[in-house]
Structure 1
Amino acid sequence: MAESLAQSSPTLLGPTDPAPVGLRNILGGSPFFLICDHAGNAVPAALHDLGLNGDELGRHIGIDIGILGVSERLSDLLAAPLVFQRYSRLVVECNRRPTASDFVAAVSDGTPVPGNAGISAEERARRASEISEPYHHEIVSRLDERQGAGRPTILVSMHSFTPSLRARPSLRPWHVGLCYDADRRFTMPVLDALDREPGLNVGRNEPYGVNMAADYSIPVHGEERGQLYVEFEIRQDLIASAEGQVEWADRIARVLTAAYAAYAGGAA
């Protein structure tokens, strides 16, 4: 099966495939700079949906459900630049280092991915060079540009998580979680602001934390470059609808604004 789905052309993306990187409000004047690693679930035509049906590609294994809608509204509310990735995390996992075992996952949450079974090193490198590398290059270029101009910048990484895994069923009761490693300068003011929001179950490195060895976006764009950051994980059932996306974008905008005021005041 893997052979029949393999790409024989020297390039992966064809003329009908979307560009991997999406931009919104890219010249916005906000100190917040939004990124969304798993915004879309596109699959290059040459990969024939990786041998999966649309239901599987629409699950959390293929896309962070609801997070693009939240991120786009948040970008508009804050006049904040947003850089997002259009391809499914099953094609290539843009929040993993290329050396990570699930950079191209053969199985995800118990679902075998035929188009990823036994792929060659060449095919793996092609997915990296045409999808994940342009995405991260865009982020680096924009952060470098802001740094060079002396613009205050807070990296905001937007994700969503499934209420329960199929492979390891368990309750995930948090409405929202923050993921962080050693640099908690901005995460702590955000946690304080979230704790003032009524009725929220807030996770601290739940349902998971930052894996500095395997993850990419926060380790590389945040921790390694000394960039202030916060990473949100919102439970997917809360943002599956347009109404939920509006509610959570409004909430996150409120929280970020309060956290930035607290951080700036404390740094003064």
Structure 2
Amino acid sequence: MNSQPSQSLLEADEPSPVRIINPNGRASFLLIGDHAGNRVPRALEPFGVAEADLERHIGWDIGIAALGGMLADRLDATFIAQRYSRLVIDCNRSPDAVDAMPLVSDGTPIPANATLDSAARAARIAAIHAPYQAAIAAELERRDAAGEDTVLVALHSFTPAMRGFARPWQIGVLHGGGDEAYANRVLAALEARGDLVVGDNEPYAMDTIDFTIPNHAFAAGRRYVETEIRQDLLTSEAQIRDWAEILQQVLSAAL
């Protein structure tokens, strides 16, 4: 069994799962990146997944770490990013969901997830999922206590093809509960540009699978939007800069 106590899953010299960029940002936006990293804790090695696979879409949201940092700078916003691979634990899933630690991802087996017992699952939750979600909650609580308005902006990216089907959308806007008005305004602002193929809840729909936005925004009636950008459009610094400019414009306009 792959079973480690939670306090030893991440060694003292390994990075925290939470990276906060521009913590004193003055904008109302709080940017979040559930899948912004693809690290694997040393305690889980051998993980059984090739480095090339960790660099693919199954390992993380390609381009989002750089995009979030650039957008945080442009908006003067705070960006809370999660550093470990979604194959270790998916921080946009309920921690008790079966696919929070997938056995297979887009056809690729994940050997280290094949024999997880309850202690091993709890270790990953305690070391990575819980601290990341707690960091978001703490920042929202601080802002609420200070009377500051907050708009949650979840940044994701998606693979250009899945299971043999091409995905033509360049950016998708996800919404599906709570106060959807802001997300709908972002969608309208993107469509009004006339130069983008925009998906309304495409290539994914926000449903009961998503965790972060529903958990932090819905019950609180907080404004939010979740974006998905196609990963082949986030492969160069110039592309990322272009998307940061687009998002800076539409997120601000939608306010």
Bin the TM-score by the shorter chain.
over 0.9
1:101-180 to 2 correspondences below 5 Å: 101-165=98-162, 168-180=163-175
Q: 1:18 deviation in Å?
A: 1.1
Q: Distance in 2 between matches of 1:68 and 1:194?
A: 22
Q: 1:265 aligns to what?
A: none
Q: 2:224 aligns to what?
A: 229
CA change 1:150–1:161 in 2 (3 A) is: same
Q: Distance in 1 between matches of 2:10 and 2:167?
A: 37
Secondary structure, counterpart of 2:168 in structure 1: coil
Q: Distance in 2 between matches of 1:137 and 1:7?
A: 22
1:32 and 2:34 equivalent?
Answer: no
| Residue segments in structure 1 that go unaligned for 5+ positions in a row | 261-268
Q: 2:195 aligns to what?
A: 199
| Runs of 4+ residues over 6 Å off in structure 1 | none
Q: Which moved more, 1:8-17 or 1:86-95?
A: 8-17
Q: Distance in 2 between matches of 1:215 and 1:234?
A: 17
Residue type of the alignment partner of 2:200: R
Paired residues of 2:174 and 2:201 also in contact (CA < 8 A): yes
1:215 and 2:210 equivalent?
Answer: yes
Q: Which moved more, 1:60-69 or 1:195-204?
A: 195-204
Q: For 1:11-42, what per-residue CA distance to the aligned partner results, in whole angstroms no more than 9, with x for missing partners? A: 20112321100001111110111000000000
Residue type of the alignment partner of 1:123: A
Paired residues of 1:61 and 1:108 also in contact (CA < 8 A): yes
CA change 1:250–1:133 in 2 (3 A) is: same
Secondary structure, counterpart of 2:188 in structure 1: helix
1:17-28 to 2 correspondences below 5 Å: 17-28=14-25
Q: Distance in 2 between matches of 1:98 and 1:152?
A: 28
Secondary structure, counterpart of 1:50 in structure 2: coil
Residue type of the alignment partner of 1:100: A
Residue type of the alignment partner of 1:191: L
Q: 1:115 deviation in Å?
A: 0.7
CA change 1:10–1:85 in 2 (3 A) is: closer
Secondary structure, counterpart of 1:231 in structure 2: strand
| Residue segments in structure 2 that go unaligned for 5+ positions in a row | none
CA change 1:25–1:10 in 2 (3 A) is: closer
Q: 2:48 aligns to what?
A: 51
What's the TM-score once normalised by structure 1's chain length?
0.91
Paired residues of 2:155 and 2:228 also in contact (CA < 8 A): yes
Paired residues of 1:43 and 1:49 also in contact (CA < 8 A): no
Q: Distance in 2 between matches of 1:202 and 1:255?
A: 13
Q: 1:186 aligns with which of 162, 168, 182?
A: 182
Q: 1:198 deviation in Å?
A: 3.3
Secondary structure, counterpart of 2:45 in structure 1: helix
Secondary structure, counterpart of 2:36 in structure 1: coil
Paired residues of 2:4 and 2:119 also in contact (CA < 8 A): no
Paired residues of 2:6 and 2:124 also in contact (CA < 8 A): no
Q: 2:241 aligns to what?
A: 246
Paired residues of 1:106 and 1:114 also in contact (CA < 8 A): yes
Taking every aligned residue pair, what percent have the same amino acid on both sides? 45
1:98 and 2:92 equivalent?
Answer: no
Q: For 1:27-85, what per-residue CA distance to the aligned partner results, in whole angstroms no more than 9, with x for missing partners? A: 11101110000000000011115111110101111010011111110000000011010
Paired residues of 2:169 and 2:230 also in contact (CA < 8 A): yes
Q: 1:6 deviation in Å?
A: 4.8
Paired residues of 1:66 and 1:240 also in contact (CA < 8 A): yes
